[in-house]
Structure 1
Amino acid sequence: MLSASPFVFLATFMLTEPLTTAPRRWQQLVVAGVVGLAAGWPIPVGYLTLGQERALLIGNLVAFILCVRGSLRLSLTDRGWLTPTIQELVFTVDDRLRFEAGQYLELEVPHPHPDSRGTRRPFSIVSAPEDLPTLRIAYRDGAQPRSSFKTALADVERGGLLHATGVWSDFLLPADARRPILLLAGGIGITPFISQLRHLAASGQTRDIVLVYVVSDPAIAFRDEIAATGIATVVFAQQAPDELPAGWTLAPSARIDGESLLAAVPDLSSRDAYVSGPPRLIADLTPSLRGARTLTTDAFAGY
């Protein structure tokens, strides 16, 4: 049976293992091509034939080479609260660091007795590439108890030196500026979109963008900055938000679902949809968002 084929097992389980999969789409395609070629060219060694096993080993080696982590220095220059629950950190960074709007960096904060998730976390970059060597990240901070990572990050003082192991992600806006876009953010998932909006402003680009912003707190992070862009914005709020800027729309329903999303964005089918936020939000809305022209997601699992 086809389902019992070792090639199917290799392609659908072993090759897509999250811990060894390359982070960028083009890197994943390179690894898949290498593994496919190696698996189709078995080498006999005595009584054994090295086929799928050798292909997987070579593929993992290529993935390791493509995404080998380095060490980029970040010096903390400032920190501040954007809302009562969202904190922003400002760094001056190593001049080797380069990124595209929408990408994240993996930040390392060494500390004693780390919890099971270790000393590294991914953070979407909030600043635009044009802002370098200044780099900003923002994250939700306020829930108790804190993870060991958040506790250590809160203890870093101005002037403190941290390291990033790399910059990743294919969460990038389409190169064709004529394509209409839907940005759907859940809470702190707004951060990659802020980077993209800042980049568009810095590069003088104008695009047809609708932002759907799902918030749980009355204070809306980056409210004034989003308003200054002039993009159409629809807010779904669990609590009555602070006064909304002119031109913004408060959705009649506090909960977003497929029906309320389509009511807020009736031309969804003509737009490239980007969704950033909690995994549950993405999972709930994915069936409805499949009606968009394309769908790209970025999940925030918490720190």
Structure 2
Amino acid sequence: MHTPTQLQEFIDQAIQNIIYPAQPERLYLPISYIMSLGGKRIRPALVLMSADLFAADVHQVMPAALAIETFHNFTLIHDDIMDNAPLRRGKATVHEKWGVNNAILSGDVMMVEANKHLAMLDAAVLKDALETFNSTAQGVCEGQQLDMEFESRDQVSIPEYINMIRLKTAVLLGGAMKLGAQVARATKSQAEQLYAFGENLGIAFQLQDDILDVYGDPEKFGKQVGGDIIANKKTLLLLKLKELTNPADEDLLEDLMTYTNLAQKIEKMRMLYDKYNIRELAMAEMSAYADQAFQALSELEVSEDRKSELDLLAKALMNREY
């Protein structure tokens, strides 16, 4: 068994060893750039941890991990363009450095590079691996589309929101785990069990993100607290509040959507959230998905000592500080 730290070191080394074509330089340089920006490498680590459960050689599974990480970074390039984001992991985004057209094209070729990694897998597992990878990638794109559509919609239901974050965020965690299991030649039910674990963990993680955006410690959260409030983002907390507000508070909420005094907007939104116990309701929803994730892991027929590292990582992800 390997620790997540060891697996992340293997991944970083494998990424450094990838040789992209030298020309056209402006097509491939942005790929090397975004792949080298680091990050926690959670998704490829989950591929390897999943395979590790079944005593697979993690180096033989590495092409699947690199495919997932390459795809993930491809989505980040395109997300940053859509969000007009200037920074990614504290550095200039690809479109800021090379221009939008270049960034789109480099992102496109990253999808090809991801498939080239997958093609290096053993032929016996390749069909299942491709099926999982493609359905995961498609789901992420569907989630991003829904997220954009929700911005211009007045009404979004909580089930719709949960489905959107499931697609945009959670299917990639579930897909990474299922892929690792398939490459390690786990049974179909074991692969599905790990998918359920990853998907539910991903939903819980995103709901936790929604809560941290309002109640997190900016030093520990690593992002601007109140960003979702400023952007009028339809998070679980806002949707829950809209369900519960009385007519007078409904008017206040409507006014807050157009507030230009941002500090006051955040403060008054927090007061409304507190009045209707939104934090507690959101925490309960988050815990329900986390419980489903841990239940799926506990039911997985693999020795407990092999599951321990995965259990620890999941608990660390769900215990970020408020």
Q: Same fold (TM over 0.5)?
A: no
Q: Which has the larger radius of gyration?
A: 1
Structure with the higher helix share, 1 or 2: 2
Instruction: Considering Cα pairs closer than 8 Å and 6+ residues apart, tell me whether 1 or 2 has the greater RCO.
Output: 2
TM-score under structure 1 normalisation?
Answer: 0.32
TM-score under structure 2 normalisation?
Answer: 0.30
